[in-house]
Structure 1
Amino acid sequence: MPEVMFAGPDGRLEGRYHHASDRNAPVALILHPHPLHGGTMNNRVVHALYQRFQAMGFSTLRFNFRGVGRSQGKYDGGIGEISDAAAALDFLQAVNPAASMLWVAGYSFGSYVGMQLLMRRPEMGGFVSIAAPASHYDFGFLAPCPCSGLILHGAEDELVPESAVRKLVDKLNTQRGIKIDYRVQPGTGHVFDAAQTEQAVDAAEDHVMSVLNRQRMPMAAD
């Protein structure tokens, strides 16, 4: 789990990076919750996603947004954090020029940043969005949403009503060529305990592997 420092738009950013042995391995960028509410790259859900993508054979990066941990700069209301995520993706692509697919996964605020990144980087191939803050931020920018993905939400989320996320999912699923795999996790609030985290990353793996297997099928038929 090598520590890395890479250039961001407002100073150097601190991360943890795993490099897969396969030069064509897919890559995944994992984004953490809100910096002003204790969010860091060591968040339980973020760390679990990082480990699970690694186990699936991905080159994987998690990092601290500006002003968190040893990352330079200061919180910028979401705008700068989107630029941080783009810089992190630049780093991933630079060290994985032959990557077969690019994924972004985010938890809470990180899922909002991840969805914003989708709109700026059309080469993204999939996403995992956990506890998306659909009642706190306007997700209307997803018009059209550039790719399909997984949205998972806790049924008992006390900060973001499940109905707000379902409304977003329904809107995205009306878009041509977009299929959102929406999963509601019973008995789960906005903050996931250890068991709920394991359940969530199991769902993420199930979704990601189904996409990767579909991608490989035409290759196997050739």
Structure 2
Amino acid sequence: MIQAIVRLVIAPLARLVYRPVIEGRENVPRQGRVILASNHLSFIDSIVIPLWAPRPVVFLAKAEYFRGKGLRGRLVAAFFTAIDAIGVERGTHGAAQASLDAALAVLADDLAFGIYPEGSRSRDGRIYRGKTGVAWLAFASGAPVVPVGVIGTDRVQPIGKSWPRLHRPTIRYGAPLVFEPPGEGVRPAQARRQATDKIMAAIQELTGQTPAGVYNEPAKPE
């Protein structure tokens, strides 16, 4: 019910205010499991993608987002609860695999799952090397991967700023990528690396970002 209110009321209002450019919506399957793999420029990516995607999208979110204090903290917690985001503890032993298992459960229900293969937000505008969890999910679930390119969200809410600003963002959805499980004689780790690199190349083509060629450093707590 709350998610319906967000999509039917808040999403149109936000669209009216920010006038986002949204391209390639037809590339997102309307039914069945699908992975939306996006670049990551701003905290607000996890808000604008679920708001304006052509179907509900489940994201993982840091557990502390659900324990926020003050007006902003309460609003963030309410929003992530409304869009059925899944809170996960970060930095604990086994946290990465627990996050993947939670994502796999979402896909098993034939839902759309959103992921940032870079992990942390880019602080310099470049696109960083993707971590192979996205390929693990694609192989394990059989879900197609739709590359997503967000542009300008770092100007809507720059890193370190508490409140969004007026700027027109762009969201581009690329053609779905389908990955078959690695065949005989192919090392799983190698297959995951190759698939992840293909996904990141597709995202980079959508955004035009300069490839960093390295992994992103974890963001410091805000």
Please confirm whether the aligned pair reaches a TM-score higher than 0.5, indicating the same fold. no
Q: Greater share of strand residues, 1 or 2?
A: 1
Q: Greater share of helix residues, 1 or 2?
A: 2
RCO higher in structure (CA 8 A, sep ≥6) = 2
